[in-house]
Amino acid sequence: MTTAARDRLPIDLRSDTVTQPTAAMHEAMAAAPLGDDVLEGDPTVRELEAKTAALLGKDDTIFVPSGTMANLLALRAQTSHGDEMICDEQCHIVYYETGGYAAVAGLSVRYTHGEHGLFTADDFEPLVRLWDDPHFPKPKLLAVENTHNRGGGIPWPVDRLAHVCERAHARGLRVHMDGARLWNACAATGTSPAEYAVHADSVSVCFSKGLGCPVGSALVGDRATINRARHLRKMFGGAMRQSGMLAAAAIYALDHHRERVTNDHARAQKLCDLIEGAPGITVDRSRVQTNMVYFDVDPSLGTAGDFCERVKNDVLMLDEGPTTVRAVVHLHIDDAAIERAGAAIRRAAQAE
């Protein structure tokens, strides 16, 4: 594509999932040694699983097609039908994963109401009904999300996470961390993946978001949990064959794209600088801590959906509520793209 043609395409800020493999990532994929990962095992998948387990300081890892499957395996492997999960009311597992926690894992749920997806031990403890009373389901699992997507891409302070997990464990709960954007949380806080992961029993991570891979997530945990997850992955139809091609992209991304997510965070701040103060646009900057920018549009500009529609020739974003728009910065967004997106949003706000 010529530069001129590319300049006419809208800047895609809908999600950090829209990235395409870079040339170097393609080369790594093409060069990967492959095998049948259901029969004898694929050597590149094995390498990725060992690398991810070491990075998070856990026994074992299983490579899966999606973050949704990683979360579902974590729930199914650590609970029984009829058990109860405690989680934030806006968490991805409940909000965006087609009710799999109920339909497939058979869990009931009680919600915490924290601030932007982050809660405290005092918030969730009253929800844990441990009394020996036949009325109540058995509370078995606490789910935390890091960074919290609908909260605004907010990373957990590790001390707070440690406290919450310690109190959950004291009550006999397992803890699952949905770390689809754990890499962003690490880059924003300086906490390492292992320093976060040590507090949870299982952690899911995505390679296809901020790291820029075409496909793939992983579930990390103790050996017994991951063994159960291997059996369940086959049951769910998620066991893949020459998946080393995909794992090679993830290995490349762990080595080359993890540090650079700080650029995405800086550009999210730049986007805020550009749109803050535009008439009818409100950005709560305290919530912009990683690569996501949620902003509100005044009803005089129409609904959030109307606003996204109005700017779509220049910038693509998602409406996440009647007045709320989400813009996500990723691997393909450079400084020029941020300037252009910011200018288009300002223009659309001023046109009313």
Residues contributing to the site for ligand PLP (CB under 6 A): 66-68, 71, 92, 145, 149, 178, 180, 206, 217
Contacts of 34 (CB under 8 A, 6+ apart): 42, 43, 44, 242, 244, 245
CB atoms within 10 A of CB 4: 7
Contacts of 19 (CB under 8 A, 6+ apart): 212, 330, 331, 332
Question: Phi then psi for 335, rounded to 5 degrees?
Answer: -60, -40
**Helices 304-311 + 335-350 axis angle, to 10:** 120
Over its C-alpha atoms, the chain yields an Rg (Å, rounded) of 21
Which residue type, as a one-letter code, is found at position 197? A
CB atoms within 10 A of CB 179: 30
Choose between 37 and 88: whose C-beta lies nearer to ligand PLP.
88
Choose between 60 and 178: whose C-beta lies nearer to ligand PLP.
178
Choose between 96 and 136: whose C-beta lies nearer to ligand PLP.
96
Choose between 72 and 349: whose C-beta lies nearer to ligand PLP.
72
Choose between 19 and 71: whose C-beta lies nearer to ligand PLP.
71
Choose between 185 and 344: whose C-beta lies nearer to ligand PLP.
185
Q: Report how far residue 72's alpha carbon sits from residue 82's, in angstroms, rounded to the nearest whole number.
A: 15
Closest separation in Å from C-beta 117 to ligand PLP: 9
Closest separation in Å from C-beta 197 to ligand PLP: 16
Closest separation in Å from C-beta 215 to ligand PLP: 9
Closest separation in Å from C-beta 64 to ligand PLP: 9
Distance set, CA 79 to CA 28, 85, 121 (Å): 38, 9, 21
Alpha carbon of residue 222 to chain centroid: 21
Tokens of 290: 């990683």
Output the DSSP codes for 195-245.
HHHTTSSEEEEESSSTT--SS-EEEEE-HHHHHHHHHHHHHTT---SSTHH
Closest separation in Å from C-beta 258 to ligand PLP: 17
Closest residue to bound ligand PLP by CB: 67
Closest separation in Å from C-beta 34 to ligand PLP: 23
Choose between 71 and 291: whose C-beta lies nearer to ligand PLP.
71
Closest separation in Å from C-beta 69 to ligand PLP: 7
